[in-house]
Amino acid sequence: MSAQPLLLDSLTSRWKRYKTELKNCRDEFSEEAVHDFRVAARRLLASLDLLQAIIHGAKTKKIRRILKDQLDNLDELRDAQVMLADIAENIQKNPSLKPFEEYLQRREKKLMRAARRGIKSLKIGELAKRMRKLEEAVGESQPDGLDPLPAVDESYARVIQRYGKVDPAQSATIHRLRIAFKKFRYMVESIHPTLKGFPEDTLKRMHDYQTSMGEIQDMEAALQELAEFEKTAPKGYDPEPVRAYYREQHALAISRYLEDRGEITAFWRAAPDQPFPKENQP
């Protein structure tokens, strides 16, 4: 498949998936439905980033802003649910988590109600109109002028640049790398059917690499939420055991990431004239 139909197909299929997951959220609102909607929105964003980089004049800014606002409105709910899932796995061996769990359960219910209202009230008429125009622009573009590889090369170069600035003592540097890496990963997913010699297992390995960085961010979000809980915690509550637990988990998450961080150099070619790394290359 050449670049033009591939890009149009990717854009169209991801837009369709976004609408499907939005409908699912409205019809049967649940944690899983919200997760799937978030993933669909992020993948659509990645397609927009790719098109913006290779099609001159592609109008994606407003679409990106709409989608980003939708995702931002669900961030706190996602964080609370991740924390609750972690607590459910560890509360038996760490019962001091119980008061924090109860606080998070109340917070999740409040955030779920707000998210449900937000999803129900979403109007996508303007978004749909802009998407139709963008699909038309892609369809009318010159096929020979569409080469997505330079845009992915540039995205990977930014990833490697941020990777070079990672400081284990400054977890914000890992967070900045994760943001750049997520954008790169979704771009690769968009075009991988056209990539000759691209290792079959790389997409999964990229997912796992991103997850390892995400676990660091999750523990930091938990520590921030714990600080909020302390402001309204019952008199006599001692947050130190819970704080110690999350600090330990945060340190372990950083340690696990650092063990395999060099794998990032095996996800893409080092330069446009170089081959893709071999499958399962360490």
Last residue of a domain, one of 86, 111, 146: 146
Report angle CA 245, 240, 218 to the nearest 5 degrees. 40
Report angle CA 100, 255, 221 to the nearest 5 degrees. 30
Mind listing the pLDDT tens digit for each residue in 209-234? 999 999 999 999 999 999 999 999 98
Report the CATH number that the domain containing residue 56 is assigned in CATH: 1.40.20.10
pLDDT band of residue 145 (cuts 50, 70, 90) is: low
Last residue of a domain, one of 146, 165, 180: 146
**Is the domain of 127 the same as that of 157?**
no
Mind listing the pLDDT tens digit for each residue in 153-201? 999 999 999 999 999 999 999 999 999 999 899 889 888 877 887 888 8
Range of the domain at 190: 148-282
Rg (CA), the chain: 21
pLDDT band of residue 281 (cuts 50, 70, 90) is: very low
pTM for this prediction = 0.85
**Is the domain of 243 the same as that of 279?**
yes
User: Mean pLDDT, to the nearest integer, of 36-62?
Assistant: 84
**Is the domain of 13 the same as that of 131?**
yes
If one compares 61 and 263, the residue with the highest pLDDT of the two is 263
Last residue of a domain, one of 129, 146, 163: 146
Average pLDDT of the chain to the nearest whole number: 90
% of the chain residues with pLDDT over 90: 70
Phi, psi for 93 (deg, rounded to 5): -90, -5
**Is the domain of 142 the same as that of 170?**
no
**Is the domain of 33 the same as that of 170?**
no
pLDDT band of residue 126 (cuts 50, 70, 90) is: very high
**What does the pLDDT read at residue 3?**
67
| Amino acid sitting at position 59 | K
Total domains, the chain: 2
